[in-house]
Amino acid sequence: MQRRMQLAARAVIVATIVRSLMFTGTAAAQERPVAWSGGASKTTAPGGVVTIHLKARIDDGWHLYSITQGAGGPSRTKIGVAADQPFTLADSVTGPKPVKRFDPNFGIDVEMYDHEATFVVPVRAAGTTSPGKYSVVVTARYQTCGATVCLPPHTQRIPVAVTVASATPRG
């Protein structure tokens, strides 16, 4: 009898571990339903502005909240430039017009993007920046939700290649 109880207890423990591993695998697969990439539109000079196009590719069944999402619901997407580099945000970040619809996760109308969204990020090179190739780190703090689950806000660091050319002499 005691042996049977021990076997039953072990079976429950094994089943619990298996279920836990299955959930962890599913959660890990859904951990990052947005893939970020970026590219610069041109070369800039020291002190000049370059436009970075930051693209979010969003997995099917998931959505990303807009940069203009209001308070009282999900976290809005915030895009910036990481500190400790010779580049800063030159102006406001702009994005595509979001879709407005009811989100059952929050019980309110929200602004969101499905499939993909491209943001325009104006970045200024410091006036003292030496000519050369740089990897500008753009940051995106965002929250994603699916039909029944929302992931906590996450900050992603996206490196974007930018070239700073020599300043041209003025005539």
Q: Check residue 18 and give its pLDDT.
A: 33
Asked whether the beta carbons of 38 and 55 are under 8 A apart, the reply is yes
Region of residue 107 (left: phi > 0; alpha: psi -120 to 50; beta: else): left
> CB atoms < 10 A from the CB of 95, how many?
20
Q: What CATH number belongs to 33-164?
A: 2.60.40.1250
Q: Is the pLDDT of residue 25 over 80?
A: no
- What is the distance between the alpha carbons of residues 145 and 105, in angstroms, rounded to a whole number? 8
> How is the chain split into domains, by residue range?
1-31, 33-164
pTM over 0.85: no
Asked whether the beta carbons of 26 and 73 are under 8 A apart, the reply is no
Q: Check residue 168 and give its pLDDT.
A: 61
pLDDT in tens, 114-166: 999 999 999 999 999 999 999 999 999 999 999 889 999 999 999 999 999 98
- What is the distance between the alpha carbons of residues 42 and 79, in angstroms, rounded to a whole number? 20
